[in-house]
């Protein structure tokens, strides 16, 4: 195990030598965020992956994100430091089961959240992220019945704000689902001046009392532009690193999960399997690499392209 300085210098050198682009989600470890060419949310990262001229994309995030980058760049090498970086949403929505679920609702079109594998995207009419889900759903004629998968909490929220009655797959994010209204109220009583900001993967009782609901990039933007100086952060605690850089002098209070009385924050264990050491090895050896079956890739590309053209 070498020190962080070694990894920092070597990763920077390898990125340059190999004409590689390092994309990082804002839930990644701080050191990885600091090394990245770009840090963003799922939509920002997909957009960056389309526009790059780099020969290699190194994705510091979870599997479905790197896989989306590969679908958008079939001729490029896409690397993920640890292939076990899953997601409770993507991993609990398997194509065979989902095909049976869809078959129960003839005439329905499918909107799938980007937090899915290529097999689900290939069966979808639309793909969305938490940034653009409302716009995508509003772009679909109101009389068109819809299935939304896999996040039931995001789906419920979207049904509420758009007035639709989408049929929902029963999936959830283990990180956001662990936030409780009771903990949030306790924290708010201690910090009554704070604004409550929450990601829409959280459950309805938590969303109900938030001052702002949005994707990770929308949360960052809201805080940058807010006159308030204190915020309760209802999403994965890795985002606080970007918030501290972009909004210095403001106070960020992480919302703990309901089971957790010891730790002050909520972390996504899947995101955190990537480390600077694994990132260094992955760039040096150009492995692990993401591969997607060609037929699946062509089918999954269609709704992803549609999403990018419908997004502001």
Annotated binding-site members for iminosuccinate: 25, 42, 113-115, 130, 199-201, 216
**What is the three-class DSSP state of 53?**
coil
**What is the three-class DSSP state of 31?**
helix
Q: How far is the CB of 214 from ligand 13P (least distance, A)?
A: 8
| Residue number, 52 or 115, with CB nearest to ligand SF4 | 115
Phi, psi of 37 (to 5 degrees): -75, -30
Of the candidate spans 97-105, 124-132, 185-193, 299-307, the one that interacts with ligand 13P by CB under 6 A turns out to be: 124-132
Question: 257 touches which of ligand 13P, ligand SF4, none (CB within 5 to 8 A by kind)?
Answer: none
Does residue 242 belong to the site contacting ligand 13P (CB under 6 A)?
Answer: no
Question: 129 touches which of ligand SF4, ligand 13P, none (CB within 5 to 8 A by kind)?
Answer: ligand 13P
Taking the CA atoms of 254, 260, 263 and 269 in sequence, report the sign of the dihedral they define.
negative
**What is the three-class DSSP state of 240?**
helix
Q: What is the DSSP string of 127-170?
A: EE-TTTHHHHHHTS-TTS-EEEESBHHHHHHHHHHH----EE--
Interface with ligand 13P (CB under 6 A), residue from 41, 67, 82, 151: 41
Question: 174 touches which of ligand 13P, ligand SF4, none (CB within 5 to 8 A by kind)?
Answer: ligand SF4
| Residue number, 65 or 166, with CB nearest to ligand 13P | 65
Question: 149 touches which of ligand SF4, ligand 13P, none (CB within 5 to 8 A by kind)?
Answer: none
d(CA 217, CA 219): 5
Question: 195 touches which of ligand 13P, ligand SF4, none (CB within 5 to 8 A by kind)?
Answer: none
Question: 278 touches which of ligand 13P, ligand SF4, none (CB within 5 to 8 A by kind)?
Answer: none
Annotated binding site for [4Fe-4S] cluster: 87, 173, 268
Annotated binding site: 25, 42, 87, 113-115, 130, 173, 199-201, 216, 268
Interface with ligand 13P (CB under 6 A), residue from 88, 112, 172, 215: 215
Q: How far is the CB of 85 from ligand SF4 (least distance, A)?
A: 8
By CB under 6 A, the residues from 141 to 200 that bind ligand 13P are: 173, 199
Per the CB < 8 A criterion, the answer to whether 290 and 65 are in contact is: no
Nearest to 9 by CA among 24, 31, 41, 25: 31
Question: 130 touches which of ligand SF4, ligand 13P, none (CB within 5 to 8 A by kind)?
Answer: ligand 13P
Task: Compute how many residues bind ligand 13P; rule: CB under 6 A.
Answer: 12
Nearest to 256 by CA among 186, 312, 201: 186
| Residue number, 54 or 153, with CB nearest to ligand SF4 | 153
Q: How far is the CB of 308 from ligand 13P (least distance, A)?
A: 14
Query: Which residues here bind ligand SF4, judged by CB under 6 A?
Result: 62, 87-89, 115, 173-175, 201, 236, 268, 270-271
Applying CB under 6 A, the residues found at the interface with ligand 13P are 41-42, 87, 115, 129-131, 173, 199, 201, 215-216
């Amino acid at each position: 195990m070498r020190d962080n300085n070694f990894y920092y210098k070597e990763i920077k050198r390898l990125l340059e030598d190999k004409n590689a682009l390092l994309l990082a989600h804002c839930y990644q470890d701080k050191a990885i965020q600091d090394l990245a060419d770009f840090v963003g949310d799922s939509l920002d990262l997909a957009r960056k992956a389309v526009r790059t001229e780099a020969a290699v994309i190194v994705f510091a995030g979870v599997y479905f994100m790197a896989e989306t980058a590969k679908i958008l760049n079939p001729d490029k090498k896409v690397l993920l430091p640890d292939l076990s970086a899953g997601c409770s949403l993507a991993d609990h929505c398997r194509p065979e089961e989902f095909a049976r679920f869809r078959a129960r609702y003839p005439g329905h079109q499918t909107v799938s959240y980007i937090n899915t594998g290529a097999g689900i995207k290939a069966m979808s009419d639309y793909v969305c992220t938490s940034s653009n889900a409302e716009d995508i759903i509003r772009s679909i004629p109101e009389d068109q019945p819809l299935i939304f998968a896999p996040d039931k909490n995001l789906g419920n929220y979207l049904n509420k704000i758009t007035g639709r009655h989408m049929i929902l797959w029963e999936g959830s994010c283990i990180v956001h689902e662990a936030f409780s209204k009771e903990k949030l109220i306790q924290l708010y009583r201690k910090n009554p001046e704070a604004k409550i900001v929450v990601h829409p993967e959280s459950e309805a009782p938590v969303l109900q009392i938030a001052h702002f609901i949005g994707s990770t990039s929308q949360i960052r933007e809201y805080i940058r532009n807010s006159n308030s100086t204190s915020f309760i952060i209802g999403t994965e605690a890795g985002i606080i690193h970007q918030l501290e850089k972009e909004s210095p002098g403001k106070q960020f209070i992480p919302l703990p999960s309901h089971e957790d009385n010891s730790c002050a924050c909520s972390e996504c264990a899947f995101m955190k399997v990537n480390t600077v050491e694994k990132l260094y090895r992955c760039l040096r050896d150009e492995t692990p690499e993401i591969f997607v079956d060609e037929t699946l890739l062509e089918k999954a590309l269609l709704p992803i392209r549609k999403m990018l053209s419908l997004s502001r």
